[in-house]
Amino acid sequence: MRDDLRAKRDALLAKIGKQPVVMGILNLTPDSFSDGGRYRTTDAALDHARRMIACGCDVIDVGAESARPGAAAVSEAEELARLSPVLATLAQALDAPLSIDTSKAKIAAWAADIGVVAINDIWGLQRDPAMAQVAAAAETLVVIMHNRSETDAGIDIMSDIRRFFDRSLALAAAAGIAKQHLVLDPGVGFGKTSRQNLVAVARISELTDYGLPILVGASRKSFLGSLIDRDIEASLAGTVAASLAAAAGGASIFRVHDVAEHVTALKVFSAIRPNAAALKSRTP
C-alpha cells in the first residue's frame, strides 16, 4: 500500500471507536433500489461525493453492482466498465478515503491499485476464493458482511451470523489479514426475513464480543416498513431510528444514503449517551 493511502487508512481506523463513522453510499449502478442511475457519469458521481464529504462523510463506499433482491448478476467486465474511469477520478480528486463495494477479487485488486483503502465484501470473503489473499496483499480494511443465498425463517439468525463470521475470520487469518483491519457487518437486508433483519439490529450487542468494529447498513431497507405496516423503504426517519438503535447496541460505522442527517443524529446521540449517568445523578 502506498504511503498516502496508508495514512488515509490509518486516519480512518483512528476514528473508529472514538466517534461514529459515517460511510456514504455512492452507487454507479442503473438498478439499485434507491438511487439507481443517478450517479453513473463521472461528473455526477464526483459532485455527489463532494456533497457527502461536505456534509461530514468519513468514507465513501463505491459500488457498481446492485445487491437488491432479484437484481441481475453483473460480469467482471461490466462492473469494471462502470467503475472506470469514475473511481480513478474520485481517487485523484478527493482527500476522503474510498471503499470498494465488490465481491470480486480482481475488481478489489484493481480498486486497491487505483486508491481505495477498504474492501466492502457482501459475501464476507466466502464467495470469491481469492478475495482474502487480495485483501491481505493490499493491506486494506475489510468489511466482512453476513449473507445468505436465500432466506430461511426457521433458523436462529444470530447463530447463523456467528457461524458465518467464524468462517470468514478463519479465512482472513489464514490469508494474513491483520485483525485491526477487519470490520463486521451483520448484513441487514441480505438473506433475511423482515423479522430477522429486526433481530439483527436489536441484538447487535451480542456481536461485540468479537472485539471488532461493527458496521450497519440499514439505510432505506424495506424491512423498516414492516415495523409500522407501511411502505417506508425510502423513509429517512425510519433509517435514522434503525441507525441509532444499532449505535446503542455498539455499532460504530454507519453505511447510509443520507449523510447530513446521520452525521447530525449521531453527534447528538454521542453527546447525550456518555453523559446520561452524570445527568441522572444531578437530577433533584
**pLDDT of the residue at 70:** 66
The pLDDT value given to residue 39: 75
Domains, the chain, with CATH or none: 3-282 (3.20.20.20)
pLDDT at 81: 93
Q: What DSSP element (H or E) covers 49?
A: helix 42-54
pLDDT at 118: 98
Q: What is the pLDDT of residue 32?
A: 47
Name the DSSP letter for residue 144: E
Position 30 scores a pLDDT of 78
* Coil/strand/helix, residue 25: strand
Residues near 280 by beta carbon (within 8 Å), at least 6 away in sequence = none
Q: Which parts of the chain have pLDDT scores under 70?
A: 31-38, 69-70, 225-234, 275-284
pLDDT of residue 163: 98
CB 23 within 8 A of CB 215: yes
pTM, rounded to two decimals? 0.92
What is the end-to-end Cα distance of the chain in Å, rounded?
A: 56
Rounded Cα gap, residues 28 and 273, in angstroms: 36
Looking at residue 231, its pLDDT comes to 57
Name the E strands within 78-212.
Answer: 98-101, 118-121, 141-145, 182-185
Tens digit of each residue's pLDDT (9 = 90 or more) over 142-164: 999 999 999 999 999 999 999 99
* pLDDT value, residue 71: 72
The pLDDT of residue 166: 98
- Residue 119 φ/ψ, nearest 5 degrees: -115, 120
Active-site residue numbers?
Answer: 221, 255
Contacts 24+ apart (CB under 8 A), 155-159: 157/192, 157/196, 157/199, 157/200, 158/199, 158/200, 158/203, 158/206
Are 143 and 186 in contact by the 8 Å Cβ rule? The answer is: no
